[in-house]
Structure 1
Amino acid sequence: MKTICKSDYGTCEYGCKRGYWGERCLFECPANCLHSDCHSDNGTCRHGCESGFYGSSCLSECKIQDAMCTDCITTCDRKYGGCISCVNGYFPDLDHITNTRCSECKKTCIDQKCDTKMGVCLMGCVNGTWGERCEKQCSESCLVCDKQTGLCERCVHPAIYGPRCDLVCNSNCVKKECDWSTGICSLGCEVGYYGNKCHNSCSFTCLNRTCDRETGSCVNGCIKDFEGDSCLQERRYGTDSDSTSPVGTIVVVVSVTVLIIYAAVTTVILVTK
């Protein structure tokens, strides 16, 4: 900056260098002016105030207006315009009808710790709440929900599941319990059922109605007259002795016995004659 002054009164021709103001640039800018810069003609701060002050000359402290405020804004008419940063444990709350004031961090923030400018919970939310400030309630059936979406990450009871914990586990699950996210039975199936969610019935021809949880094949074999992995094939009896039907065997035995008795009776009759 040129350091030329008028010869008559000694007033500075081109204004003052940074940090000074007045006709002869004899006055220092207010100490709280940002960058120590003020207008040469009236000494008002050119770029605003240092943190914690407001007003045209940045002479007023923000904490006079709000004890928890560490920084505030100056309005166009050079007045207090509300807090924009607070001490630890507080945040600028926009919910106030007039100027933004510092409010306590939400009690739903873990350890009640939040960002001092935005109020965002720093350590996350306590169980049952979600949102940036943990101000929203999870579904009643959620034990924990996602901080951003509110979708359930765990359910309050092992018999329900789904992103909103509003689905019921299959009644064929052991104790009716299933995985909260997939609905897959956690403890297996009740006797007579199989599949991840135990939707499928074991074959009625499985011995003891017991089958493999994944495949449905009969683990203890089949009931009488059925065969195959799932005991769905009716056993066919052939002519070989090892495949003869028990019923056929009885018929043959009875027939032979009748013939023997008949022959014996006939013999006795002939002899007596």
Structure 2
Amino acid sequence: MDGFALYVTNTSTIPPDGYLCYEDPDPGLPNITQTIPCNELGKYVIYYNNKGSNDGSSVNGPIVELCYVAINGCQKSRWGSNCEEFCSENCIEQHCYLRNGSCVWGCNTNNCLNDICNTFSGVCTDGCKERLTGNYCNKYNMASDGLVELIPKGSQPGSLANDGNKTSCSKTMGPTVTFQVDLQTKSIVTGVYITFGGIPDKYYNGWLSYLYASNTSISWENGTVLYQGKSLPTEIYFNVVFRYLTYVPPVQDISSELEVCEIGIIGCPPSRYGPICNESCPGNCNGPCDLETGNCVFGCLDGWTGDKCGQECPDGQFGRNCSQFCNGCISNICDHVNGLCDNSTGCNPGYVYGNFCNTTCQAGTYGNDCLETCSVNCFNQTCNKITGECLLGCNSGWLGFNCTQECPNGKFGRNCSEFCKGCISNMCDPVNGLCDNTTAIKPGNEYRNSCNPVSTNKAETDHPVSTQIGLFTGGCLFGSLVTAIVCFLLMRKGQLRKRQGKEKCQLNLFFLQLFKMYTPQGNKPNIQVRFRYQYMGKPTISS
């Protein structure tokens, strides 16, 4: 191993072309076990030796015998015993020492205020340059263009809390203290950085402080609670859409004090996205887009669709989310944004309203430009807006597609569903069923001039006397049953005295007139029945 060298390179070129980590010094032979530190980025670790040996009589080439090799390291931008920590984003090339995470080549001051950063942590010590925030000043700060207000107004103005400078602070004191930032428009916000002065710490004492997001400046308590806790961290992450950010300290009394040195609100203006908001949202987004992907998270403007709203609505559709249809336009083709028909000469049957054709015909009309009138014979004068078909059927006396046909002979009524059975030759008025011949009506009809028979049972029509006897017999049975029930109820109530118990409950039914039949023009018999109920010889009920 005498004279060997150790390289870290990004190529396998021999002789090595890279960083020389170690070279064996002369004189003497090196130890056969070596532990060599080397903090360097590379793809190859190369052991190289071209010295060889010289025994005085001949020169031999180098010989190497490696028994064990271990290369300790981490993937780029990580550090720690198990490579579990990340190097500071502000370290140059995000490269740090594996043991402590400090920047190998120093920190990047490009975005740091006053070009000052901590070489160990990479944090921008004094703050960030314009419109940037975060420990490493690598995120866009929406608070830079916002309005900062301390309530009550303090000795130092609120604008000192969003100037990017951590060394200048806004300060106030009073019985009710509030800190609020107005972003001036609703925006997608993913996090907040807050740097306090020394005042708030002594007021916590286990009390809760709150951070609210709202869309109004006065009702923030009804908004979204972004954080509540006994101490407010310097970094808080979330994903919320709001306009106003409000911080309420944990203690509110006559001596409450608040000092805010810097506020950073991570997000982008509504039309921008990307890590530092250097990308433009798609032009057809309906509101702000996703800060990472640029997708239109609140949908598209009228006439557009897709994740980035770059696609026009399909043929036949238009409007917000392409949810409306060009049904009224000729060929169903219209402007994908406003629904204006491509062919302005007219609309499909059943539609009207100029070049948009987006209004159906009014009740009672149909056809091209709604110039046709539904048939007066349509029930409720309701018809199909396109064809004129009577949707609810026809008025009495009519039938057909649009109710222009009269009922055929022998039928009448709604949709010609009734029959003129009672009229001579079955001929009647198709609307109301009046017989054509008012003096010649079939026997058995209940009403004069009507085609509505009393009964269509042939036996009843042919034997009127049998019908009368049946009615009479039924009446007698019904009267006897009613009398028995009345007597039973009176006895149950104790209204019959014992000395009168043997008296009989007598019923004298007098059929004064069994049949008094008046049958002119074929009318049915008129049956009258009279009866009298008598108790103790005294009539009490008669009918």
TM-score bracket for the superposition, by shorter chain length: 0.3 to 0.5
Query: What is the TM-score normalised by the length of structure 1?
Result: 0.42
Query: What is the TM-score normalised by the length of structure 2?
Result: 0.24
Q: Which has the larger radius of gyration?
A: 2
